[in-house]
Amino acid sequence: MFSDQGFLQAITRFERSLAKVLSTLLTAVLVVACLQLVLVLGVDLLDLRVNWTGEGLISLLDQILVLLIALEVLQNLTAYLRDNVVQIELVLVTALTAVSRKLIVMPPGGHKDPADLFGLGFAAVALAAAYWLVRQSHVNRRPSRTVPTTGSPDLDPLPRRDGAGGE
């Protein structure tokens, strides 16, 4: 138990168990929130007094974007459980969605602090740039070899180690 290997295995088991609990709880919250959204939306659609071109639409967009953010967090958790790594692309997309939500659902015509607008705009641009950089690093990376090559030395950029490759 107190050896390095045993300790690391215990920590890994704890992390995975915690991720499973959080995933289960978040799934339950998402199901209840979706049902609640459908019920409230159904009632509001039947009420002709709801103004869908103003605050009503902004409130609906806010609720939908919150659900999407929660769904992205659930994807982060399941990706961690599947691959045992935190996928930075998913984290950046989740953060970009959250910042974009704040920009989208700002009440129209209300007092907006210019520093808040500048900060949110800067955060959105920085997150978009970070996401683009991460995507570019994946696009430009050559695929790794999974098996040794057995082709001709002219087609194989790496020399053979057994000395039979002409070197």
Summarize pLDDT for 108-163 with one digit per residue, the tens: 665 677 888 889 899 999 999 999 999 988 777 666 656 655 555 555 555 555 55
Give the mean pLDDT of the chain: 82
Q: What is the mean pLDDT of residues 40-68?
A: 84
Q: What is the mean pLDDT of residues 69-78?
A: 93
Long-range contacts for 82-89 (Cβ within 8 Å, ≥24 apart)? 84/16, 88/134, 89/131, 89/134, 89/135
Task: Kindly tell me if the per-residue pLDDT of 101 is higher than 70.
Answer: yes
Residue whose entry in the numeric block shows the structure tokens 């459980």: 81
Greater confidence (42 vs 142) lies with 42
Task: Kindly tell me if the per-residue pLDDT of 3 is higher than 90.
Answer: no
Among 111, 72, 126, smallest CA distance to 94 is for 72
Question: Under DSSP, is residue 127 helix (H, G, I), strand (E, B) or coil?
Answer: helix
Half-sphere exposure of 130 (CA within 13 A, CB side): 15
Q: Indicate the residue type of 165.
A: G
**pLDDT score for 167:** 45
Q: What is the mean pLDDT of residues 1-6?
A: 80
Q: What is the mean pLDDT of residues 98-109?
A: 83
Question: Is residue 76 within 8 Å of 90, Cβ to Cβ?
Answer: yes
**pLDDT score for 59:** 84
Greater confidence (107 vs 40) lies with 40
Question: Is residue 133 within 8 Å of 94, Cβ to Cβ?
Answer: no
- How far apart are the two ends of the chain, measured CA to CA in Å? 50
DSSP class of residue 144 equals: P
Question: What does the domain layout of the chain look like in residue ranges?
Answer: 4-140
pLDDT band at 99 (very low <50, low <70, confident <90, very high): very high
